[in-house]
């Protein structure tokens, strides 16, 4: 952890000395990383991680706004924290992230939960330490939803893993898919300096990290806002040379920007994993157009075919949505057919939920909830059959795993991920967490595989 930046600020006393913090994170990997930055800042102020909620002097909630459900969970959580705060008067509660980047939502939250000390949007992250100090002296919730982000470079990070690291390459999003709140709460695209990313990757490798995941809402648009002229393919090619790293992953790729050069770099790269997460969202051209995705079903399938041809053994995963405004049964059938044609290893499936302020939310053709639920079930069922078939074909193969730790359901087994990002459980006598091992796949299920060490 780097402390220099904090020590350089004379106003920041280590006011967290002797205090414990708890973080609760909703949403995507970008948010997981932001929580690691928040934890880094807190530790540089002297705070230490709490082992349980009861022990916490400070609770930091990092919120997500992408669908209705994670927002409702935050409200539920704050409802429960009300009782805890009544018992523990000097408890400090801070709510940050995507949900509260919107001034109206932040104000409403402050009204409903006046015992919250600090409400800070995504852009306020670099100011978090100062805000926290101020909030503790304020009797009402302190709110910062200003849009002027300021640089995030050099903030301390407390990573939650010793072998896998998130490495953001581009913040924000310019795409404005019509259903999506992310561009509204994460701001415009800002690529991080090329040299800074490379330097950080070397530092992570020197610290023993074996795997990095490059993060961006759309990593494929990396670099277009930089003077240097480097694009994402250049970045990946350069990172592939970093000694000590074993695996490089990246999330998320927008189909409209996936360049032939990127496929070429993935093909040649030694460390770049044979896995691509390529959200399709829908299989109907009419819906894709309404979603403002800027590719067609045909273009998408062509991309998947190219990837499978050029990168043998690649796993392709996707995101799909059902119940977009006005989605007909025919439109939905085209999404089902897309599953058969693309043959995804895995699909993350969502029921569309309107996000206030987005274009789709004004479309006024919301489908009844039972229709959406029924479509989701059919979609999940079809995809599960495909995932199982693909996984069964792996039985008998030898695969490399990066071991993540004891299996969640069976403490006698360890769990790891293949380069294709499949979860594998295997029996082991010793703790191999954080190590690369070879296993042979012996059993296959829809969501995971079983292997034995070779
Ligand atoms: N940047 C990524 C996705 C970020 S959000 C991309 O472009 O693919 C993750 C997923 O949430 C999306 O892929 C989409 O499937 C889903 N999602 C986004 N907005 C949604 C909404 N309003 N309702 C339901 N699902 C949504
Ligand atoms: Fe949302 Fe589209 Fe941007 Fe992804 S690319 S974050 S779905 S607007
Ligand atoms: Fe991620 Fe949710 Fe924000 S998906 S970018 S945490 S709205």
The CATH number linked to 237 is 3.30.750.210
* Helix 260-268 with 232-239: angle, nearest 10 deg: 10
Per-residue pLDDT band for 353 (boundaries 50, 70, 90) equals very high
Within-domain flag for 406: yes
In 86-208, at which residue ranges do the beta strands (DSSP E only) sit? 92-97, 118-120, 142-144, 164-168, 170-171, 190-191
Per-residue pLDDT band for 6 (boundaries 50, 70, 90) equals very low
Per-residue pLDDT band for 9 (boundaries 50, 70, 90) equals very low
Asked if 26 and 140 sit in the same domain, the reply is yes
Q: Which residues contact 331 (CB under 8 A, 6 or more apart)?
A: 282, 283, 284, 286, 287
Run of H or E residues at 223: none
Residue 14's φ and ψ, nearest 5 degrees, are -75, 70
Closest-CA residue to 364 (of 354, 372, 374, 373): 354
Within-domain flag for 353: no
Q: Ligand 3 mean position to 63 CA, how many Å?
A: 8
CA–CA distance, 384 with 336 (Å, rounded to integer): 12
Asked if 130 and 197 sit in the same domain, the reply is no
Asked if 216 and 166 sit in the same domain, the reply is yes
Domain boundary residue, one of 252, 273, 294: 273
Asked if 175 and 119 sit in the same domain, the reply is no
Copy the structure tokens of residue 400.
Answer: 């490399």
Phi-psi sector, 23: left (phi>0), alpha (psi -120 to 50), beta: beta
CA–CA distance, 220 with 279 (Å, rounded to integer): 13
The upper half-sphere exposure of residue 59, i.e. CA atoms within 13 Å in the direction of its Cβ, equals: 22
Among protein residues, the one with the nearest Cα to ligand 1's atom 25 is 352
Task: Answer whether 13's CB lies under 8 Å from 49's CB.
Answer: no
Q: Which residues contact 165 (CB under 8 A, 6 or more apart)?
A: 159, 204, 209, 211, 212, 213
Task: Say if residue 402's pLDDT is above 50.
Answer: yes
Task: Answer whether 213's CB lies under 8 Å from 250's CB.
Answer: yes
| % of the chain with per-residue pLDDT over 70 | 97
Q: Write down the pLDDT at residue 14.
A: 65
| % of the chain with per-residue pLDDT over 90 | 93
Domain boundary residue, one of 224, 249, 273: 273
Within-domain flag for 166: yes
Q: Ligand 3, residue 181: give the atom nearest the CA.
A: 7
DSSP letters for 6-64: HHT-TT---TTTT-EEEEEE-SSHHHHHHHHHHHHHHHHTT-EE-SSGGG-SEEEEEE-
Q: Ligand 1 mean position to 208 CA, how many Å?
A: 33
Run of H or E residues at 106: helix 103-112
Q: Write down the pLDDT at residue 139.
A: 87
DSSP letters for 249-295: EEE---GGG--HHHHHHHHH-SSB-SEEE---B-S-HHHHHHTT---
Ligand lying nearest the CA atom of residue 358: 1
CA–CA distance, 84 with 61 (Å, rounded to integer): 15
**Cα radius of gyration (the chain):** 23
- Specify the CATH number for the domain of residue 12: 3.40.50.2300
SS3 202: helix
Task: Answer whether 71's CB lies under 8 Å from 95's CB.
Answer: no
DSSP code of 359? T
Q: Which of 254, 280, 282 to mutate to test the pocket of ligand 2 (most atoms within 8 A of CB)?
A: 254
CA–CA distance, 104 with 49 (Å, rounded to integer): 32
Residues of the domain holding 419: 398-453
**Average predicted confidence (pLDDT) for the chain:** 95
Q: Ligand 1 mean position to 174 CA, how many Å?
A: 14
Asked if 175 and 91 sit in the same domain, the reply is no
CA–CA distance, 445 with 107 (Å, rounded to integer): 46
Q: Which pLDDT tens digit goes with each residue over 104-123?
A: 999 999 999 999 999 999 99
Average pLDDT over residues 172-181: 97
Asked if 122 and 199 sit in the same domain, the reply is no
Per-residue pLDDT band for 411 (boundaries 50, 70, 90) equals confident
Q: Which pLDDT tens digit goes with each residue over 90-104?
A: 999 999 999 999 999
Domain boundary residue, one of 273, 290, 306: 273
Within-domain flag for 288: no
Q: Ligand 1 mean position to 441 CA, how many Å?
A: 33
Structural domains of the chain, count: 3
Within-domain flag for 293: no
Q: Ligand 1, residue 281: give the atom nearest the CA.
A: 15
Q: Which of 66, 174, 177, 320 to mutate to test the pocket of ligand 2 (most atoms within 8 A of CB)?
A: 177
168, 347, 390 from 316: Cα distances, Å: 22, 9, 11
Q: Which pLDDT tens digit goes with each residue over 281-308?
A: 999 999 999 999 999 999 999 999 999 9
Task: Answer whether 315's CB lies under 8 Å from 287's CB.
Answer: no
Task: Say if residue 34's pLDDT is above 70.
Answer: yes
Within-domain flag for 89: yes
Within-domain flag for 167: yes
Asked if 131 and 181 sit in the same domain, the reply is no
Examine residue 252 and say whether the peptide bond preceding it is cis (omega within 30 degrees of 0): yes
Task: Answer whether 167's CB lies under 8 Å from 236's CB.
Answer: no
Asked if 140 and 182 sit in the same domain, the reply is no
Asked if 24 and 60 sit in the same domain, the reply is yes
Which range in 8-12, 150-154, 159-163 is most confidently predicted, on average pLDDT? 159-163
Q: Which pLDDT tens digit goes with each residue over 252-278?
A: 999 999 999 999 999 999 999 999 999
Count of beta carbons in the 10 Å neighbourhood of residue 445: 14
Within-domain flag for 336: no
Lowest mean pLDDT among 119-123, 180-184, 245-249, 410-414: 410-414
Per-residue pLDDT band for 8 (boundaries 50, 70, 90) equals very low
Among protein residues, the one with the nearest Cα to ligand 1's atom 5 is 66
Q: Which of 25, 26, 28 to mutate to test the pocket of ligand 3 (most atoms within 8 A of CB)?
A: 28
- Specify the CATH number for the domain of residue 432: 2.40.50.140
Asked if 67 and 179 sit in the same domain, the reply is no
Asked if 139 and 19 sit in the same domain, the reply is yes
Asked if 11 and 115 sit in the same domain, the reply is yes
């Amino acid at each position: 952890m780097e402390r220099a930046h904090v020590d350089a600020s004379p106003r920041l006393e280590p006011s967290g000395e002797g205090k414990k913090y708890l973080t609760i994170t909703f949403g995507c990997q970008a948010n997981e990383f932001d929580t690691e930055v928040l934890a880094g800042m807190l530790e540089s102020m002297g705070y230490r991680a709490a082992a349980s909620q009861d022990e916490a002097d400070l609770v930091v909630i990092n919120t997500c706004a992408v669908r209705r459900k994670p927002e409702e969970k935050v409200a539920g959580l704050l409802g429960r924290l009300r009782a805890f705060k009544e018992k523990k008067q000097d408890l400090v509660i801070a709510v940050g992230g995507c949900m509260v980047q919107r001034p109206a939502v932040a104000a409403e939250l402050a009204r409903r939960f006046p015992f919250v000390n600090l409400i800070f949007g995504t852009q306020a992250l670099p100011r978090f330490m100062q805000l926290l100090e101020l909030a503790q002296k304020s009797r009402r919730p302190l709110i910062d939803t200003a849009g002027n982000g300021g640089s995030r470079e050099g903030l301390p990070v407390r990573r939650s893993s010793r072998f896998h690291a998130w490495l953001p390459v581009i913040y924000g999003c310019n795409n404005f898919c019509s259903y999506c709140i992310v561009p509204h709460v994460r701001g415009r695209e800002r690529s991080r300096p090329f040299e800074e990313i490379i330097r950080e990757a070397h530092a992570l490798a020197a610290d023993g990290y074996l795997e990095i995941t490059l993060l961006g809402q759309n990593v494929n648009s990396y670099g277009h806002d930089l003077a240097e002229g480097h694009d994402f393919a250049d970045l990946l090619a350069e990172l592939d040379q970093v000694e000590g790293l074993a695996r490089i992953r990246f999330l998320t790729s927008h189909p409209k920007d996936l360049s032939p050069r990127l496929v070429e770099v993935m093909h040649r790269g030694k460390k770049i994993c044979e896995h691509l997460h390529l959200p399709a969202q829908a299989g109907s051209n009419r819906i894709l157009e309404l979603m403002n995705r800027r590719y067609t079903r045909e273009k998408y399938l062509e991309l998947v075919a190219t990837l499978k041809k050029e990168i043998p053994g690649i796993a392709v995963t996707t995101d799909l949505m059902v119940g977009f405004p006005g989605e007909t049964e025919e439109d939905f059938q085209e999404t089902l057919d897309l599953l058969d044609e693309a043959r995804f290893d895995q699909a993350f499936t969502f029921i569309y939920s309107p996000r206030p302020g987005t274009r789709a939310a004004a479309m006024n053709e919301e489908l009844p909830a039972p229709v959406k639920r029924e479509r989701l079930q059919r979609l999940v069922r079809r995809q599960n059959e495909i995932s199982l078939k693909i996984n069964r074909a792996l039985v008998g193969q030898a695969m490399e795993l990066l071991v993540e730790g004891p299996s969640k359901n069976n403490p006698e087994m360890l769990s790891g991920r293949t380069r294709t990002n499949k979860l594998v459980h295997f029996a082991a006598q010793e703790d191999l967490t954080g190590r690369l091992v070879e296993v042979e796949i012996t059993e296959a299920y829809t969501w995971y595989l079983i292997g034995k060490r070779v």
